[in-house]
Homo-oligomer: A and B are copies of this chain.
Amino acid sequence: MKINEQFEKLVPNYLFADVAGKTKAFMETHPQQEVIRLGIGDVTLPLAPVVVDAMQQGCEDLRFQKTFKGYPEYEGYDFLRESIADYYKSFGVKIEPEEVFISDGAKSDCGNIGDIFSKENTVLIPDPVYPVYVDANIMAGRKIVYAPSGQQENFLAMPDPKVKADIIYLCSPNNPTGAAYNAAQLKEWVDYALENDAIILYDAAYEAFIREDLPRSIYSIEGARNCAIELCSLSKTAGFTGVRCGYTVVPFELVRGGKRLHDLWYRRQATKFNGVSWAVQCAANAVFTPEGQRQCRLNLDYYHENARMIARTLDDLDIYYTGGKNSPYIWMKCPNGMSSWQFFDYLLENAAVVGTPGEGFGSCGNGFFRLTSFNSHEKTAEAVERIRRLLS
């Protein structure tokens, strides 16, 4: 029996373990100091009450034979697919409910979608970005090329006509940089994909954080239905990181090699997936009701306010950053030419504030640092005050 030798090419990512280790060591040697974590990558506010109510009612349905639910549809219940199509309509994008596939999360779909593509494709991945795009494609044995980005591009990687690629991952608003593409920039990517017969895998996990006039979906761009699959999640939108529900949109027009990608993805999911928990789909559906949207918005506003506190501080200190306006992430330049890890140590030792070194998200991330808005108002305010004192 031969193992998949591609696993040997995976680079162990010790980023979060190293962050935790250094933080723990500091806390042991400085027991009197309160460490504040602005590196949290997970939501912290509880679920919207209507969402909990709906999930509990979903559980209750399973208590009685009359309302019991067995195997769900592989692609999700129609009522939820319709709610998601209506949600898209609310920001002016038309998709069909039947184009939506419900899943246990965008991370699963990001990796599993690769099953429908040949190994012979070249994958283009922005740098810096969410590391699972890279690892999933290393496992699959695909050639990976990078679209670098830096301060000059405001960390929004743009297509290079000299680079040929077949599959393109985009994440907007981006994790970790918080930068979000405008319509003109996305149009460049769509045009590039159409010219190269490529497919864009568009990760819109942070779309609900968009507050400025920027695309919430790649399907707001003309031509995208012929070249893009969109992956989304309720993890950040509605605090579903522990509930697990996402969705992937595969337009009917997407045809390659004479096959509808919609049919291929359906077949993949029907073979290697068995649908999402009834109670979870009930909870997800509640997110898209008017009251669900109102309650979820309160949480998003809370995180936004934290992001604004951090951004204002960096503005005052005249430190370059991206994100914060349309994203829970702020991606700041390390001051005084420090490397990511140098600044990590400096901030921990002198302000007892923990963030995430940018190089964990790709080589273009060195010299940058990610702060997040998932802590409380009180802790965030205290942390930015310490940062202000330290860097003034």
Binding site for B on A (CB under 8 A): 1-5, 7-8, 10, 42-47, 49, 52, 55-56, 59-60, 62-65, 68-72, 104-105, 107-108, 110-112, 115-118, 120-121, 132, 135-136, 139, 166-167, 197-199, 239, 241-244, 256-257, 259, 261, 264, 267-268, 271-280, 283
Instruction: Report if A44-B68 is in contact (Cβ < 8 Å); known contacts: A7-B267, A116-B4.
Output: yes
Instruction: Give min CB distance, A216 to chain B, whole Å.
Output: 23
| Closest 3 pairs between A and B when the two form their complex, measured CB to CB | A111-B272, A2-B118, A42-B70
A2, A42, A45, A72 — which one has the most chain B CB atoms within 10 A of its CB? A2
Instruction: Give min CB distance, A45 to chain B, whole Å.
Output: 7
- Asked if A244 contacts B55 (CB within 8 A), the reply is no
- Which residues on B sit within 8 Å (CB–CB) of A69? 242
In Å, the complex CA distance between A63 and B264 comes to 38
Closest Cβ neighbor of A40 among chain B residues: B70
Closest Cβ neighbor of A376 among chain B residues: B65
- Asked if A65 contacts B47 (CB within 8 A), the reply is no
Instruction: Report if A68-B45 is in contact (Cβ < 8 Å); known contacts: A10-B267, A275-B244.
Output: yes
Q: How many copies of the polypeptide does the oligomer hold?
A: 2
- Asked if B56 contacts A68 (CB within 8 A), the reply is no
- Which residues on B sit within 8 Å (CB–CB) of A278? 242-243
> Which residue of B1, B268, B279 is within 8 Å of A121 (Cβ)?
B1
> Which residue of B105, B118, B277 is within 8 Å of A280 (Cβ)?
B277
- Asked if B242 contacts A121 (CB within 8 A), the reply is no
Closest Cβ neighbor of A104 among chain B residues: B104
- Which residues on B sit within 8 Å (CB–CB) of A42? 70-71
Instruction: Give min CB distance, A354 to chain B, whole Å.
Output: 17
- Which residues on B sit within 8 Å (CB–CB) of A49? 63
Closest Cβ neighbor of A106 among chain B residues: B274
Instruction: Report if A71-B2 is in contact (Cβ < 8 Å); known contacts: A104-B274, A135-B271, A272-B108.
Output: no
- Asked if A116 contacts B3 (CB within 8 A), the reply is yes
13 A-B residue pairs with Cβ-Cβ distance under 8 Å, sorted by A, are: A1-B166, A1-B198, A2-B120, A3-B116, A46-B65, A47-B62, A47-B63, A55-B59, A104-B276, A132-B272, A139-B272, A241-B274, A277-B277
- Asked if A277 contacts B70 (CB within 8 A), the reply is no
- Asked if B43 contacts A70 (CB within 8 A), the reply is yes
In Å, the complex CA distance between A329 and B268 comes to 27
In Å, the complex CA distance between A283 and B68 comes to 15
Known: A4-B116, A47-B62, A111-B272. 16 other contacts (CB 8 A): A1-B198, A2-B118, A3-B259, A5-B118, A5-B257, A7-B267, A42-B70, A44-B65, A49-B63, A55-B59, A55-B62, A59-B59, A104-B274, A105-B274, A132-B272, A139-B272
